Chains A and B, each alone.
Chain A
Amino acid sequence: MAASPLKTALSQSAKPIHPVWVRLCHWLNALAAILMVLSGWRIYDASPVFKGFVIPPAITLGGWLGGALQWHFAAMWLLFFNGLIYLGLNLATGRLFRKFFPLSPRAVWRDLRLALIGKLHHDDLSHYNALQKIAYLTVIIDLVVLVLSGLAIWKSVQFPLLRELMGGYDNARIVHFCAMALLVGFFVVHVVMVALVPRSLLTMIRGR
C-alpha cells in the first residue's frame, strides 16, 4: 500500500520544528528566569554592588528583601531542574550538536554583517543562522554562570572551589550581576527579534 496523503501529513506534523520538550523547557525557563531576575533586583537593592546604581523598586518582585529572597530561592529550583532536563535531553538526543554546530567565527561575522544591512533572512525556522547559534549558546552558558555564581554567593562556605573560581565571595556578586545584565540584554534582543519574525513565536508554542 502506498503512503496515503494523510499518513504523510501525520508524519510531518509528528516532526515539529521544536519538539515538545524544547517548547516546555523554553517556557518554564522563561518563567523561572523572569522571576529570578525581578526578585534578584530587589535583593540587589538591599545592598547595591555598584554604589549609586539602584533598580527602581516598583519593577522588582517580592516587596521587601525577605519576600524577594523567598521568590529567588523558590524559582531557583525551577531554573535549576528545568535547565538540567534541557541540557540532558539536548545532549542525549544529539540536538545540541545538530542545531548549534558547526559554528565558525567567519559565519557569525558574515551573518552579523547581513543582519546589520537588513539582509539576513530567517525563512526556514528549522534552521538557525550563525547569529542565532552564537546567541543561544551564549545565553545557555550565561545561565550556567548565573547558577554557579549564585551558588558561590548562597553557599560560599560549603562550596570553596566555586567561591575561589568566582574570585571570592564579594567578586561572585559582581559576576552574578554581570551575568544577569547579559541575560537581560539577550532577553531584549530576543523579544525584538521575535517581534520581527512573529512566526517564530508560533513555532515555539505549537511546534510548527
Chain B
Amino acid sequence: MGILKRVRDGLGIMLAVAVKELIQFRRYPSWVIAVFIWPLLFPIMSVFSARALAGPEGQALHAFAALSGTTDYTGYIIVGLVMWMWLNMTLWTLGSFMRSEQIRGTLEATWLCPVSRLGVLLGATCSQLLISMVNLTVSLIAFRYIWGFRIVGDLGLTALLFILSAAAVYGLGIAFASLVMWVKEANAMVFLVRGLFMVFCGMTYPLAVLPGWMRIVSRGLPLTYSIDGIRAVALAGAGLADVMGHIAALAAFAVVTLVAGFVAFRWTERRVLRTGALGHH
C-alpha cells in the first residue's frame, strides 16, 4: 500500500472514530453541561481566595508581584487553570476511552477490524481536541467578560507554546490510556496524575513559594513550562527570545512523551494479546 493511501486510510479511520465519539458525547446532555459550566465555576474559588489574601486595597499585591512578575492575579490564575483543565480533560478522555470501550465490550469488536489500533486511539484524541477547543473558546470568552481577562502579548507565540504543550499532554494521554487498559482503573490514576501536576506546576501560585525539592520536581513536568511560558507571553508581553528555553523544553517533552506514549501503547497491545486481558473488565 502506498504511503499516500496509508495516510488517507489512517485519516479516514481517525475521522470515523472522532465522529462516533462526538455523536455519543452529544447523546449525554449532562456531559455537555458539565463541560461548559464547570470551567466557568472552576476559577472562582481561586480568584476569590487570591482577592482575600491580597487585602481590601490590594496591599499584598506587591509581594505577589515580586514572586510572579505581575499584579494581574486573575489572569495569572486563569492561565494556570486553563492549562491544567486541558491536561485533566485529556487524561479523562483518553484514559476512559479505552476503558469504557473495554467495559462496553466494543473494544474487541473494534480490534477485530483491519485497522491500526493506534489510529483508533488517535481518532478519540481528535474528538477530545475538538471538545477541548470548544471548551477553551467558551472559557476565554466568559473569562473576558466575567474577570476582564485579556491576552496582551503575541497571540502567535502564545499559540505556539500552547500547541507544543498540547503535544506533550497528548503524549502523556496516550501513555495514560495504555496504562489504564493494563490496570483497568481510570479514576484513581487520573486523580493521582492531575494531583501531582496541580501541586508541582504552579497552577495558582508562583513556583518560588515551593520548597527547593519541590521546585526540582516541577522542572521535570511539561506543564510547568507551559504555564510559565504562556503567562510570560500572554500576560506580560514577553517575546520569543524570553521564552526560547520554554519552547525548547516543551518541544523536548513533546517528543519524549509522544514516543513514550506510542511505545507504551504497543507494549500494552502485545501484552493484552498474550494475556487475553483485552475483553476483561
Query: Do A and B actually bind?
Result: no
| Chain B contacts to A: CB under 8 angstroms | none
